[in-house]
Amino acid sequence: MAGAGIRWGLSDAQRSSLGLAACGDHNSAWFGLRRMLLGYATGGRSITADNGMQQTPAWREIEPYDEVGGLDAELAGVLAAVLERLMRWWNDALQDAQPDVWAQRLRQLAQDMFAPQDDVEQALLDGLEQSLARWQEACDQAGYAQPIPLAVAQEAWLQALEQPSLEQRFRAGGVTFATPMPMRAIPFEVVCLLGMNDGDYPRRATRNDFDLMQQSGQYRPGDRARRDHDRQLMLEAVLSARRTLYISWAGHHVRDNSEQPPSVLVSQLREYLAAGWQGESDLLQERTWSHPLQPFSRRYFEADSKVHTYAREWRAAHAQMQMQVQPGGAVAAVPEVPPFVPDAQVPLTVAQLTQFVRNPAKAFFRQRLSVYFEEDDSAVPDDEVFQLEGLQAYGLVQTLQQQFVADWEARAGQSADGDVAVQLLQQRIHSLQRAGQLPLAGLGQREAQQLQDSVLPGLQAWQRVRAAYPQAAPRQRLQFVHGGAVLEDWLDPLWLPASPVPGVLPLWLLLDPRDVRDSKGQVRRDRLLPVYIRSVVAAACGVEVQGTVIGRDASLHVQAMPQALAQQALQDLLALWQQGMNQPLPLPYKTAWPWQPHGRYASRCQCL
């Protein structure tokens, strides 16, 4: 759903009913479903247009989403069935109807959309059915048969479900969970009152402007008082306890650990007990337990502790720590990770070395311990996009650059002037609009124009460089050994001029979707880390090449480094890599950069 561009709304018709007809159908559920089904129908097949561009055929301004295929297509079918039922329900919900008709519609909705998987869910559906039956019976007894809107039927149905009933099953088993209600003062061996926090109990009544009993001077004897009612319920609960009365509240704040008082009713009970047994000063202290805030607190696992826990995983962890206690009382040190020994059969690559220099601690956990600290980004975005920024803009620019390079290469070396480049870029941006990756309506047109203006100069610069270096050069093998560490990789693709030119080295070309200069016009050295590592490794391995980095705002020409200087720099990097595989290094690249003495091992870059 996220990849197909589903954000909010069912369809353009449903949006029009909300007064948002100008938004159209883009990024709706029906829009994303059509992209899925069209992508499944076309199978991701591409065609070659007249301009040589490889593209998936669009149909009625719908961009196919070709990620749906094989057994995963069943999910698209399930989504189609759900949307069909939601569309039918939305059409019915717009029409007023009599209570009997609403009852039939609501039963059909529950039958279409919910399938209970356990007893709890089945009990919830049974409660919905019972509340709907009670509401329908009340309407029949009152003889009410006038059409009502959905809001009225919904409020009556859900209110009947939430309203407690004395006929409900109370004693369901050995342990009964229930809210305090009148006439529930049945004797129990153990009564537990949970969540008796200050401000939570007695419960606060919701203030309604049309409730005359809550207005000043309108109270009459016999009117219901929420606070007095809750006092009576607590008294009944206390009197119902035959052997044990357990009361809990949050005694300390979860942020600053400051002390918090219990409910005023609990405070009054404690004051009454203290006043009744004044001779026993430790009465309340002996009957009050303060539990630690965290479940892994050491207090839970001490031998003479009065508090206990049922968290088996933390008990097992503390048991292992106790097993490491030496006879003298000192805790044995945690065994260290064995020293890192590089494996010559698994050489280091340029990409891995770049990742290590960028973030040494992350590379240690990934390459040495196979531990990945990645955030689970499984939430489907449902916010409408008004402006491209951050990672979203970065991803779109990178996609446009990769697609432009593929389209240009697909022309098999044919000349492409500036107009053709603009045409290729416009077609790809229009494809993004059809895929719902740009804002809607006029905002989308503005973002599309800004996207084209920011990406086009870099693509034109790349095109000029490729036109000057049209011939493919053989890829070069990179191999370097130092201190047992083996670095082995390939340097490609490389390009040469159309006709041999003495002294002209093969060129590697890199497109960067970011700016390579800051607001002051200075080159951002942190953006050139992959360029620096590539240049150092190539020169250290004796491969004489030059490079060009094309960003969104400028182009940089990278000259070859002296081999002796590059070998010394690569030896230092490999020694640092071996050290970082034994233990995490303290500083990542961007943090340590201000301490780096500029000029050492620096590659020669010229801003074009």
DSSP 146-209: --B-HHHHHHHHHHHHHS--TTS----SSS------TT----EEEEEE---BTTTSSPPPPP-T
Q: What is the mean pLDDT of residues 426-442?
A: 84
- pLDDT higher than threshold 80 for residue 57: no
Beta bridge partners of 509: 548
The percent of residues in the chain predicted with pLDDT above 70, rounded, is 84
149 lies in the same domain as 188: no
- Report strand pairing: 605-607 vs 555-558: antiparallel
State the sign of the Cα–Cα–Cα–Cα dihedral 599, 601, 607, 608: positive
Query: Does 215 reside within a domain?
Result: no
189 shares its domain with 298: no
List Cβ<8 Å contacts ≥24 apart for 86-90.
86/10, 86/29, 87/10, 87/11, 87/14, 87/30, 90/10, 90/14
| Residue-level pLDDT at 407 | 82
Average pLDDT over the chain reads: 82
- Tokens 């050139």 found at: 528
Is the separation of the CB atoms in 557 and 510 below 8 Å? Answer: no
Residues 511 and 473 in one domain: yes
216 domain residue, yes or no: no
Our separate counts of H helices and E strands in the chain read: 18, 12
- List the one residue out of 57, 150, 140 whose CA is nearest residue 97: 150
More confidently predicted of 427 and 172: 427
Domain of residue 67: give its range. Answer: 12-162
Nearest 5°: phi and psi at 171? -85, 95
Q: Are residues 259 and 407 in the same domain?
A: no
Cβ atoms of residues 238 and 269 within 8 Å: yes
Rounded to whole angstroms, the Cα distance separating 550 from 17 reads 48
Residue 357 is assigned to a structural domain of this protein: yes
Task: State whether 347 and 308 are in the same domain.
Answer: no
Cβ neighbours around 455 below 10 Å, total: 20
Number of domains within the chain? 4
> What would the pLDDT profile of 574-602 be if each residue is shown by its tens digit?
999 999 998 888 777 777 766 665 545 44
Half-sphere exposure in the Cβ direction for 151 (13 Å, CA): 0
486 shares its domain with 565: yes
* Residue 75 CB contacts under 8 Å (≥ 6 apart), including other chains: 68
Q: Does residue 3 belong to any structural domain of this protein? A: no
Assign residue 141 the CATH number of its domain: 1.10.486.10
Instruction: Please report whether residue 99 resides in a domain.
Output: yes
Are 448 and 585 part of one and the same domain?
A: yes
Position 212 confidence tier, pLDDT thresholds 50, 70, 90: confident
Round to whole Å and give the CA distance between 52 and 424: 10
389 belongs to a structural domain: yes
Q: Could you write out the DSSP letters of every residue in 377-424?
A: --PPP-SPP-S--HHHHHHHHHHHHHHHHHHHHHTTT----HHHHHHH
7 lies in some domain:
no
N-terminal to C-terminal alpha carbon distance within the chain: 43
Check whether residue 88 and residue 104 sit in a common domain: yes
What are the residues whose beta carbons fall under 8 Å from the beta carbon of 147, sequence distance 6 or more? 96, 97, 98
Residue 6 lies in a domain: no
Digit-coded pLDDT (tens) for 476-535: 999 999 988 999 999 988 999 888 778 788 898 988 888 888 878 888 887 888 888 999
| Over residues 340-350, mean pLDDT | 87
The CATH number given to whatever domain includes residue 410 is 3.90.320
462 and 476 co-located in one domain: yes
Taking only the tens place, the pLDDT of each residue in 82-110 is 999 999 999 999 999 999 999 999 999 99
Question: Tens digits of per-residue pLDDT, 249-302?
Answer: 999 888 888 899 999 999 999 988 888 877 666 788 888 888 888 888 888 888
Indicate whether 96 and 201 sit together in one domain. Answer: no
* Predicted pLDDT at 372: 83
The token pair that represents 400 in the structure block = 């446009």
* 234 and 324 inside one domain: no
Residues 478 and 557 both lie in one domain: yes
